[in-house]
Structure 1
Amino acid sequence: MMEITINTPALLFPAITLIMLAYTNRFLALSARIRALHDEYLGGAKEKHIIGQIKNLRSRINLIRYMQMFSVISFLLCIFCIYAIYKGWLHWAHYIFGVSLVTLFSSLLLSLIEINKSTKALELELSDIEELSESNLFKDIFRREDE
């Protein structure tokens, strides 16, 4: 087994905290959008795309909750890993650090899923514009701005 030092889990501290900050910013942006859509809905605009967006936002909020949870667990496991290294429990430190990496990976995987859902929400928003329905990856990459 490779040697693990206190610096190894400590290297994840800034990465995890920045990821948690990004997740919090996403959560705040979604909260504002949900409140705006809710006000529109209560104001009588019960259009189909508003209901679809609210459903999409609800699932994205749940994803962000789990993303944040896994990030916090990863952060706590890094702290436990440092404590285990400090106490000389290197065997346990390896396993704790491994689980910390797995939870961080899970958080990032959920983030990828949430990003995919956010693009679907934007497609819902733009679905009433007919010209946009014919786009694809290659057309979007090579399209000029003046088109």
Structure 2
Amino acid sequence: MTITTPALLFPAISLLMLAYTNRFLVIAQLIRSLYKQNSENPDTDLRNQILHLRLRIVVIRRMQVAGILSFIFCVITMIALFLQFVELAYYLFGSSLVLLLISLCISLYEVQISGQALTVQLKNLEKKS
């Protein structure tokens, strides 16, 4: 393994972090909007949506933490390779890949939560029609 091997993950992790941050910001904006609506006109459905979005925020933060740790382990891998600690670099890079996998699995879970929430909302809309 050369120093460029862990560097190959930098663009992938960077793009993932950008996507995670965008998801976080959109959900935070939605929560603020729903909170304002709920304070003006209290509604159980709105409160439930806000609570559901809170879960998604927690999940997204966990995705971000795993992604950031993966990035950190990649950088430390490169330092270890630079200092010629090759065996340590293998373990660090493996850990980085595992953390990236964890981040992606948590992302998959968040997508499932999001899909379920939309399904519930569509059912509520169909009932009202």
Please report the TM-score for the alignment, with normalisation by the length of structure 1: 0.83
1:128 is matched with: 124
Write the letter of the residue equivalent to 2:6: P
Q: Are residue 78 (structure 1) and residue 74 (structure 2) matched?
A: yes
Q: Percent identity?
A: 44
Q: Secondary structure of the equivalent of 2:124?
A: coil
The answer to whether the Cα contact below 8 Å between 1:53 and 1:124 also exists between their aligned partners in 2 is: no
The answer to whether the Cα contact below 8 Å between 1:52 and 1:124 also exists between their aligned partners in 2 is: no
CA displacement 1:104-126 (0-9 Å, x = unmatched): 00000000000011111212222
The equivalences for 1:23-62 within 5 A come to 23-46=20-43, 48-62=44-58
- Point out where structure 2 has 5 or more consecutive residues left out of the alignment: none
1:17: how far off? Answer: 0.3
The answer to whether the Cα contact below 8 Å between 1:16 and 1:71 also exists between their aligned partners in 2 is: yes
2:18 is matched with: 21
RMSD over equivalenced CA pairs, Å? 1.2
The answer to whether the Cα contact below 8 Å between 1:63 and 1:114 also exists between their aligned partners in 2 is: yes
- Structure 2 residue corresponding to 1:69, chosen from 65, 68, 89: 65
Q: Secondary structure of the equivalent of 2:95?
A: helix
1:129: how far off? Answer: 3.2
Q: Are residue 118 (structure 1) and residue 114 (structure 2) matched?
A: yes
CA displacement 1:75-124 (0-9 Å, x = unmatched): 01000000000111000000000000010000000000000111112122
- Point out where structure 1 has 5 or more consecutive residues left out of the alignment: 132-147
Q: Which has the larger radius of gyration?
A: 1
When you count helix as a share of all residues, which structure comes out higher?
A: 2
Please report the TM-score for the alignment, with normalisation by the length of structure 2: 0.94
